[in-house]
Amino acid sequence: MINRSNVREVIEQNRELLSKVLVNVEKTFEKGLHFKYKTIDSIRNYLIKNTEVLLFPSQSLSYGGMVLYRNSTFYIHINTLQPKTYENFVWAHEYYHFEFEKERIENADDVTFVNNPALDRNERRANLFAAELLINDYVLAELFQEINSNYPDDMLETNVIRLIPAFELPYKTIVIKLAQDNLISVEEAEGIIDYDYRNHLPQDLDLSILEPTKAIKIDGLNKLLNSGIIRENMLESDFNSIKNLSKKHFERLEAIRMQN
């Protein structure tokens, strides 16, 4: 977890990795204008086309998603119970792993999910890529200047929160990017990174972006169960057991989805 004790090192590591990561950002934009102007939608469609994407809510909110490789197929899971801001970030993060680290992921001995990825270099590259892809430097600088001008008496933390709807990304991602781009000092970033922003939202903030989508997409599992190879090589009793478990799991996901 990124916090006051390590945010300085995160920013320094970002600056060290930035030039190489920006090469991959440009490669992504070169896929077409839609990747530049509808980035999340384009990434989502690209991954659905080229991998087996699984969307479902997980009540482990410290977990955002993962990408893994099994039986010649890439699988990507996105936890859709996290706020939309975090889901957006995870889409770009996992896209980086799939698009630029295929060989590492294909190596079954390598870990592609890290519980505490703040300073893990592989995860830091993916996080930095997501931030650079989704936050335009010029737009960030202009919006931040305008917000500070419009709300000169508000705390720095509050004006950073006002940037969340513009980029639809997590608070800490924006704090780090501001410091990385020298729009705030590293000392200011250390001072506000742990701010409990969810309990101090300005009244003029659109709260919808902080809600989860709770989307469910598990057709990859259904496709696997209905494949001829599975039916031919699995005992009927085992097949029925897995299918029943799948049905029960889907019903549980639907129950989570309908919770307020």
Cα 165 to the chain's mean position, in Å?
A: 16
Mean pLDDT across 91-120: 79
186 and 245 in a common domain: no
233 in the same domain as 203: no
230 pLDDT tier (thresholds 50, 70, 90): very low
Among the residue ranges 56-60, 164-168, 199-203, 212-216, the one predicted with the least confidence is 56-60
pLDDT at 106: 85
One domain, residues 143 and 171: yes
At 217 the pLDDT is 82
Is residue 91 within 8 Å of residue 69, measured between CB atoms? no
Pick the more confident residue, 81 or 135. Answer: 135
Whether residues 155 and 245 share a domain: the answer is: no
Predicted pLDDT at 234: 43
- Lookup: tokens for 71: 């039986």
Residues forming beta bridges with residue 153, ordered by sequence position: none
CA atoms within 13 A on the CB side of 209: 18
The SS3 of residue 71 is coil
Q: What is the pLDDT of residue 148?
A: 98
Tell whether 124 and 196 lie within a shared domain. Answer: yes
Residues 211 and 224 in one domain: no
What's the N-to-C CA distance of the chain in angstroms? 27
* Residues 198 and 236 reside in one and the same domain: no
**140 and 56 both lie in a single domain:** yes
Task: Tell me the pLDDT of the chain averaged across its residues.
Answer: 86
Domain check: are 194 and 233 in the same one?
Answer: no
> How confident is the model over 155-186, as pLDDT tens digits?
999 999 999 999 999 999 999 999 999 999 99
Q: Given this model, what pLDDT does residue 180 score? A: 98
Judge whether 155 and 148 are in contact, CB under 8 Å.
no
Q: Report the candidate in 15, 2, 1 with the shortest Cα–Cα distance to residue 175.
A: 2
Cα–Cα distance for residue pair 178/158, rounded to 1 Å? 14
Q: State how beta strands 73-79 and 65-70 pair.
A: antiparallel
Considering its fold, how many domains does the chain have in total? 2
What is the predicted pLDDT for the residue at 145?
98
Q: What is the pLDDT of residues 57-77, one digit of tens each?
A: 877 767 888 888 877 888 888
pLDDT at 229: 44
Task: Kindly indicate the confidence band of residue 221, based on its pLDDT and cuts at 50, 70 and 90.
Answer: low
Q: Which domain holds residue 203?
A: 1-217
What are phi and psi for residue 116, nearest 5 degrees? Answer: -130, 80
Q: What's the pLDDT score for residue 248?
A: 64
Same domain as 8, residue 35: yes
- Same domain for 163 and 232, yes or no, is no
Length of the chain: 260
Instruction: Say yes or no to pLDDT of 100 above 70.
Output: yes
pLDDT at residue 242 in the model: 47
Average pLDDT over residues 181-197: 98
pLDDT of residue 116: 53
For residues 98 and 224, membership in a common domain is answered with no
pLDDT on residue 117: 62
